[in-house]
Amino acid sequence: MRDTKTKIAAGLERAFAARGFAEPSVEDLRDAAGVSLRTLYKYTPSRSDMVVVALEYRNDRYLERVFSGLPVDPEAALDVVFERVAGWMEEEASHGCLFHAAVGAAPQDPALQELLRRHKTEMAARTAQATGLAGREADLTLLIEGLMQSWPLLRAEAVESAKRLGRMVIRGK
């Protein structure tokens, strides 16, 4: 059962990341998930549920990628976080943040708004914990979101800028 749910979540995530939230038909999503329509609806009874399952799966993958095995030194940890966010942008999010895109596609959906809030809050909290910057989550959110927004235009320059600003935050505590 767990393998089927993971397979569905992974396929849905790929489909939404590649084609957005409005374009893929239910048949497209079924094909991306690699299951029958009956199985897809068993695990995700509505399109909204499909989006939530895909985003929860993406959240778990993202957090694992960004935070696994960080250095102990706060500055080094923050540098690695920024590098991994940039790597994610290059490999997984060339169209921008999928969480923001989901809310943009359904701005009145409270479940998606909550998922976006939870994702960004957890990202900031984990970064603060890894860098000893508890209480500076808003600063860290601004740096990470700024990196994500400027990365498509500035790439390596955006990463270096985020690192410089991050060191200022750490040293200025």
Instruction: Give per-residue pLDDT as tens, 43-67.
Output: 999 999 999 999 999 999 999 999 9
16-25 pLDDT, tens digit per residue, is: 999 999 999 9
Its pTM stands at: 0.94
Predicted confidence band at 34 (pLDDT cuts at 50, 70, 90)?
A: very high
Where in the chain are the domains?
2-172
Q: 1 pLDDT exceeds 70?
A: no
Q: What are phi and psi of 94, to 5 degrees?
A: -65, -20
N-term to C-term CA, the chain: 47
Fold (CATH) for 2-172: Tetracycline Repressor; domain 2 (1.10.357)
What letter does residue 107 receive in the DSSP assignment? T
Residues 85-113 have a mean pLDDT of: 94
